[in-house]
Every structure is written in C-alpha cells, then in structure tokens.
Amino acid sequence: MKSNSLKSIVRDITYKPRERVQIFEGLDQEKQRLVLLKLSKYVQAQLIGALKKEVIIPILEHLDPDDATDLMQILPKRKQKELLTEMTEELQNTLSILLQFDPKTAAGLMSLNYIQVEAKEKFKEFAEKINLHEKRTGKLPVILVLEESKLIGFLPIKNLIFAKPEDPAKKFIKKIATIKYDASSQSVINKILDNPHQKISVLNDSGNIMGIIYSDDVLRLLQEREASNLYDFAGVNNEETVFGSVKQKVKFRYKWLITNLGTAFLASFVVSLFGETISKNVLLAVYMPIVAGMGGNSATQTLAVLVRGIALKQVELNTAWPILKKELGAALINGLINGLLVAGIVVFFNRDLRIALVLAMAMISNLLVGGFFGTLVPLVIQRFKKDPATSATVFISTATDVLGFLFFLGLASLLL
C-alpha cells in the first residue's frame, strides 16, 4: 500500500464528515485498521460511534489489545459494554482488564504481551510457552523471569538465539525497571527517561506482575502531552478541536482573550503617560512594536525551555539561580546583537543617532526582562501547584509589553 494513498484516505475521512462512514466501509479490513489508528481521537470517536457493530468488532479483534483499549476508551461506557458483549471471550477478558484502569496511570498504559518463566526453567521448557503465545497473539512476548514468585528480570529474545535446550532462564537474565500500577503517567515518563530503550514491568501492591509498558507507548504519551502543552501555551482548551462548532470555540477562548485585553489596556496606559514625548518624536511610534515584540519573543523562547525543564523535573525555583544567570547572559548578548542591528537600520533610513541609541538600549533592556520573567514566572507558578504552560504567558507578555514601552519611552524622554 502506498503511503500517499493512505494519507489521502485519512484526509478524506477527516474532512468529509458526511461521507466518512461510506469511505471507511469501502476499505478492506487491513486498510480500515491502519486508517483508524492514524485518525485523530475526535474523528475516531465520531467514526466508531457511527459504525455498525458488525464493522467495528472485527477491526478491534485484529488490533493489538492496547490499541483496541485506546479506541474503546474514547467511547461512552454504554457503547463499551455493548461492543464487549459481542467480542470473543479472550478479547473480552483482556479489554475488560485494561479498561478498568485510569488511562493516565501506569496500568492504563500497560500491555499484556508477556509470559512468565521460573529462573531455573530450561530453555526447552519455556520455548514452548513462547511459541504458544506467538501463535495465539501473533506477537513475540516479553519473557519475565521469576524467582520464588518475585520478578527478578527479563530475557531478551535475541539472547536466546544460541541457547542450548538445557540452559536455564537465569543464564540470560537482564534487569528490568518496575513501577506500581497506580503511578502517574508523569512517573512512567520519568522512569523511561531513566531507562531509555527499555521496557517497564507494572506491578500490583503485592509485587505481582500486571503488565508491560513499551517505550513506544510512552512516546505516544509524550506526543499527546506536547500537543496538550501547545494548546495550553496558546490559551486554547484541550477539548477544542479543528472540527469544533463556533459556539465551542468561543466558549473555550473568550476568557483568555478578555484577560489579554486587560493586559493590553495596561500597556496602553503606560504609552499614554508619554504622549507628549511621542508627539514631539513621531518616529518613536513606528519602532515601539519592535521593542515589545522582541521582548515577547525572547520571553517565549525562555518559557518554552523552562516549561520543558519543569515537566522533566530538571529545575525548581530553589535551583533556578544558575539557569537564570545563563538566560540573562544569553539575553544580554542577543540584545546587543539585535540592538546594534536595529540601531544601524534607524541610522541608515532615518539619519537619527539619538533614536537609534534609545532603541538599542531599550532592546537590550527588554530582552533582559524577557529572560528574567521567562525564567522565574513559570517556576513561581509551578511552586503554587499551577500549570505554568497555561498561566505564565499572561504575566510574561504583560511584563515585556509594559516594561518594554516604559524603557523605550522613558529613555526617549530623558535623551531626546
């Protein structure tokens, strides 16, 4: 199958809601599975809700249980129960187990693709378990090794290629990271970051194995988290989609816009204090947006780095001083570079050395403001147990706008 063909099908199903079901039902089952997994969650929910049980159940039965669980979790509980009763007993049992856990916990991310063997078992004994699992699921399992009913490691499949029938499992064992079933998704991410390219075994309160988390599952979680952070960063509700109605879009955005309107009035008030200065030097009005805009851009760059550092637990407010020094150093150098550049442009086009000097000094000052507030504001907000990605931009943009205009017009009042 050509990837372009698959992309065009996904695009048609996404942007042609009236023809969505007809297009999907016209595909063979293999394409249906591939297309369904590539659709956004919003479109998945709309499509699955509109499909007949006779169409959706065979697709779910041929998906990996964790993928099938992800799709089922999109649906209302009533629809989940309705579909479960029509599935094979084996899949019904598997999905029933996975669906009972919160998708934002370790148990909600786990797969059941594993087998358990005893440390003293010989290769010839557990090789049959591997074959049976592969025949039943079509996938090679993760082989978890137990000793006295406790997990002690796993067996990499590649290490068994040259195994002799009498070799015990313990000969090939490697350590495996573990996590409690009720651990948060952030804890899972941190665990994967500490153990890159590894799997994690999910354990219950008694230390018994419940499932396996693959790094791919965490990558998908991180992608969703990045999308969520991007929405927060823009002040857009996570529930909003590109397909939302006008009413939904207004509902999710108006509070954010009103807050920004208030900060814009504050910046306007600062400008109004220097009306006489601006009237004497009209050229100042031309360059005011540059100062505020560059400060905002600098702050946004710093904020993005800090929010990521907070998410990865690399920085806290009490350890911020070394980071603040580096951000201010970078802001100073960038301020000098951009200040000299914009001063040169003013001299070349306007032949005004004094305004060039004012603009360069204001540029340096506001990039320092951006670095300062972009570093500290998200850390202070995080200290108060709030999401810095959602709240920080309001305070930072206010600081760079208000102080940017204050520096620029204040210097102009003094020097012009």
| Same-domain check for residues 70 and 133 | no
Domain that residue 333 falls in: 246-415
What dihedral do alpha carbons 331, 332, 338, 343 form, nearest 10°?
A: 150
For 303-361, what is each residue's pLDDT tens digit?
Answer: 888 887 887 677 888 888 999 999 999 999 999 999 999 999 999 988 889 999 999 99
| Same-domain check for residues 158 and 267 | no
In a domain, 81, yes or no: yes
What is the distance of C-alpha 213 from the center of its chain?
18
In a domain, 234, yes or no: no
- Sign of the alpha-carbon dihedral angle for 179, 181, 186, 188: positive
Domain boundary among 189, 223, 257: 223
Which residue numbers in the chain have pLDDT < 70? 1-4, 197, 219-245, 248, 252, 256, 312, 387, 389-391
| Same-domain check for residues 266 and 411 | yes
The whole-model pTM stands at: 0.53
| Strand pairing report for 200-203 and 177-180 | parallel
In a domain, 240, yes or no: no
| Same-domain check for residues 189 and 264 | no
pLDDT at 252: 66
Please, are residues 395 and 263 in contact by the beta-carbon 8 Å criterion?
no
